[in-house]
């Protein structure tokens, strides 16, 4: 039997080929459109663009797969690389599961020893003292690697004196704490283990795998219908459409899941959501108050020395190229070591005289809001103008008509862990600075760090880059403007606070903040050293005695003629 083969006529073959090519073109367009829509972009005409997310492979070990980063110029990308290298932390041990405490750092078995004065003789003002710290585990065996988080200070409770020490990691389980001897009399050394190196391993992993462990949400409402959806700068992959709220001026990203029945433009507010604690078995044992978190390390010998007044002509003892402290407390008063004269503003009239004719703009988190509250409470003539704002959120304004003083506070833009912030009040600091005229009667104070602790460093670096750019533009057009940066500070730690705002997280962001503004014509209020050197307990919102010293530094920058900027 013959098999008949059916051939395609030229006309039919051409038609079939056109159909195939058309289908391939349509599929390619759809693929390209999907890829384009999931890339970071800056909407030009709208504040909210719906993005249909691309379906891609997700690895929970890499936050870069679902965190949105603002693109950087080659210059900024190089700076970011150098900044990340500057805060690199020593490698920390990875332990098999379940974790066993016995091989981790135990402050009770660890010790510190005050080393003899270099060159011998008695301690004198201006000397540098070194204390050698040796860490051991719960078995009493020496640690052989670094990466532990330690704090050191020297103080005298009788004189209400204190200064922060500088800790150097030798990488072998031993550390050195260096102190400047700045007052005559008694000086006691204190060393604290904040976290064992094994805890740092966990904190690192959380940032890498769970940068979204604190969630955020927004309420959408229109026509009597409301929906609440999840928002973040690190939003995990989903098949749901996404509302992109990238800031058109700074390029700062922020995204929310699109409501099922409402448009992106119906967004009403921003709020902190839930916290998800996802530790591996027994990891919580690494974060125990009184056991291995914020616990003092005992001395192996005397922990106190006597400091004599420096003899005339005697040379100061130095310890390498270590940085000196920025200041110290004496009789409860902060004394700067950079030549700044710190005045004491004990009365409301003294504060009013200092601020007369000034506009003080405070931008940042609740640690900056605390300064606003302190000034309003301290100066009776500075009246809070009721803007009907929420107590935690702001914005706030206080006026003294007689002395022509205005003080304002505004919180920074997302990510921020406040509740029920109206979308209209979500402002980025850089944009606010660009709206200022500036001048000799304008003071700008910026404090932004705490709410970025759960995110990769890249998120914080980009925010600081945009703020620094705005500061530079402000100082270019109004060089007489005073810009003051408040640094991060230490806090009391619980398990929750540690997993979201550990001092280790704050320490790294503090270093980034200082490096970002180094070399600019700005002043620094060193909240880190002012909290560490003081005898009061660490707190996210420092107690009034510390706040008064901080605001005295701020007011001295404003009102001391001899202060150099």
Q: What per-residue confidence (pLDDT) applies to 99?
A: 82
Q: What per-residue confidence (pLDDT) applies to 19?
A: 44
**503-517 and 197-209 helices cross at what angle (nearest 10)?**
70
Could you give the domains of the chain? 102-201+291-307 (2.60.40.10), 214-275 (no CATH), 327-559 (3.40.50.1110)
Indicate whether 49 pLDDT > 90: no
Give the separation between CA 58 and CA 182, rounded to whole angstroms. Answer: 55
pTM of the entire predicted model: 0.87
Give the separation between CA 342 and CA 557, rounded to whole angstroms. Answer: 8
Express each pLDDT in 9-36 by its tens digit: 544 544 444 344 444 433 443 333 333 3
| Average of per-residue pLDDT across 528-554 | 97
Structure-token match 């903040």, residue found: 513
Lowest mean pLDDT among 130-139, 197-206, 318-327: 318-327
Catalogue the E-assigned strands of 373-514.
383-385, 396-400, 405-411, 421-422, 442-447, 482-486
> What's phi and psi for 73, nearest 5 deg?
-70, 160
Q: What per-residue confidence (pLDDT) applies to 252?
A: 95
Q: What per-residue confidence (pLDDT) applies to 451?
A: 97
Query: What is each CA distance from 217 to 214, 230, 245, 256, 499, in whole angstroms?
Result: 10, 4, 13, 8, 20
Indicate whether 314 pLDDT > 60: no
* Neighbour order of strands in the sheet with 421-422: 49-51, 242-244, 255-257, 225-232, 214-222, 269-275, 421-422
- pLDDT-derived band at 564, boundaries 50, 70, 90: very low
Express each pLDDT in 393-452 by its tens digit: 999 999 999 999 999 999 999 999 999 999 999 999 999 999 999 999 999 999 999 999
Give the separation between CA 53 and CA 37, rounded to whole angstroms. Answer: 7
3-class DSSP state of 405:
strand
Express each pLDDT in 249-293 by its tens digit: 999 999 999 999 999 999 999 999 999 998 999 999 999 999 999
| Average of per-residue pLDDT across 494-517 | 97
CA 549, distance to chain mean position in Å, is 22
Give the separation between CA 153 and CA 328, rounded to whole angstroms. Answer: 10
Indicate whether 42 pLDDT > 50: no
- pLDDT-derived band at 93, boundaries 50, 70, 90: confident
- Mind giving me the DSSP string for 501-556? H-HHHHHHHHHHHHHHHTTSS-EEE-HHHHHHSSSSPP-SS--HHHHHHHHHHHHH
- pLDDT-derived band at 1, boundaries 50, 70, 90: very low
Express each pLDDT in 344-390 by its tens digit: 999 999 999 999 999 999 999 999 999 999 999 999 999 999 898 88
| Average of per-residue pLDDT across 79-108 | 91
Express each pLDDT in 106-137 by its tens digit: 999 999 999 999 989 999 999 999 999 999 99
- pLDDT-derived band at 68, boundaries 50, 70, 90: confident
Give the separation between CA 384 and CA 364, rounded to whole angstroms. Answer: 19
First to last CA, the chain: 103
Query: Which has more pLDDT, 77 or 46?
Result: 77
């Amino acid at each position: 039997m013959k098999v008949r083969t059916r051939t395609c006529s030229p006309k039919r073959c051409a038609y079939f080929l056109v159909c195939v090519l058309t289908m391939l073109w349509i599929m390619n367009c759809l693929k390209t459109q999907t890829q384009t829509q999931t890339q970071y972009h800056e909407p030009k005409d709208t504040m909210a663009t719906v993005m249909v997310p691309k379906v891609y492979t997700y690895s929970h070990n890499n936050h870069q797969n679902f965190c949105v980063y603002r693109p950087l110029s080659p210059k900024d990308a190089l700076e970011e690389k150098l900044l990340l290298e500057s805060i690199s932390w020593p490698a920390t041990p990875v332990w098999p599961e379940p974790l066993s405490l016995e091989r981790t750092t135990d402050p009770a078995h660890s010790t510190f020893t005050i080393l003899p004065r270099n060159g011998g003789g008695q301690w004198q003002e201006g000397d540098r003292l070194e204390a050698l710290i040796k860490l051991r585990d719960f078995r009493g065996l020496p640690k052989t690697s670094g990466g532990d988080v330690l704090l050191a200070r020297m103080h005298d409770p009788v004189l209400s004196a204190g200064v922060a020490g500088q800790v150097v990691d030798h990488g072998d389980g031993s550390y050195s704490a260096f102190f400047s001897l700045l007052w005559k009399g008694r000086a006691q050394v204190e060393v604290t283990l904040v976290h064992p190196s094994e805890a740092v391993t966990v904190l690192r992993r959380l940032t890498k795998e769970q940068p979204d462990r604190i969630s955020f949400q927004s309420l959408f409402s229109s026509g009597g219908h409301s929906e609440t959806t999840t928002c973040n700068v690190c939003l995990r992959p989903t098949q749901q459409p996404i509302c992109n709220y990238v800031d058109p001026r700074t390029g700062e990203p922020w995204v929310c899941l699109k409501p099922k029945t409402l448009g992106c433009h119906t967004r009403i507010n921003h709020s902190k959501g839930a916290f998800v604690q996802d530790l591996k078995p027994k990891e919580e044992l690494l974060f125990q108050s009184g056991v291995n978190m914020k616990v003092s390390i005992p001395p192996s010998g005397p922990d106190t020395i006597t400091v004599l007044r420096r003899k005339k002509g005697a040379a100061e003892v130095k310890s390498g190229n270590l940085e000196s402290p920025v200041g110290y407390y004496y009789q409860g008063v902060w004394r700067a070591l950079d030549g700044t004269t710190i005045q004491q503003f004990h009365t409301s009239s003294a504060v009013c005289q200092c601020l007369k004719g000034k506009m003080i703009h405070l931008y940042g988190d609740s640690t900056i809001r605390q300064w606003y509250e302190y000034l309003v409470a301290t100066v009776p003539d500075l009246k809070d103008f009721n803007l009907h704002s929420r107590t935690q959120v702001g914005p706030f304004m206080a006026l003294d008509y007689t002395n022509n003083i205005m003080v304002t506070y505004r919180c920074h833009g997302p990510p921020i862990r406040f509740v029920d912030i109206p979308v209209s009040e979500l402002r980025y600091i850089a944009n606010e600075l660009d709206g200022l005229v500036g001048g000799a009667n304008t003071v700008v104070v910026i404090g932004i760090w705490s709410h970025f602790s759960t995110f990769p460093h890249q998120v914080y670096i980009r925010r600081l880059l945009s703020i620094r750019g705005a500061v530079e533009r402000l100082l270019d057009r109004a060089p007489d403007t005073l810009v003051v940066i408040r640094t991060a500070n230490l806090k009391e730690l619980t398990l929750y606070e540690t997993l979201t705002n550990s001092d280790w997280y704050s320490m790294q962001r503090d270093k980034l903040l200082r490096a970002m503004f180094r070399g600019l014509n700005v002043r620094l209020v060193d909240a880190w050293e002012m909290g560490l050197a003081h005898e009061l307990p660490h707190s996210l919102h420092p107690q009034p005695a510390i706040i008064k010293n901080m605001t005295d530094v701020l007011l001295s920058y404003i009102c001391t003629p001899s202060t150099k900027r």
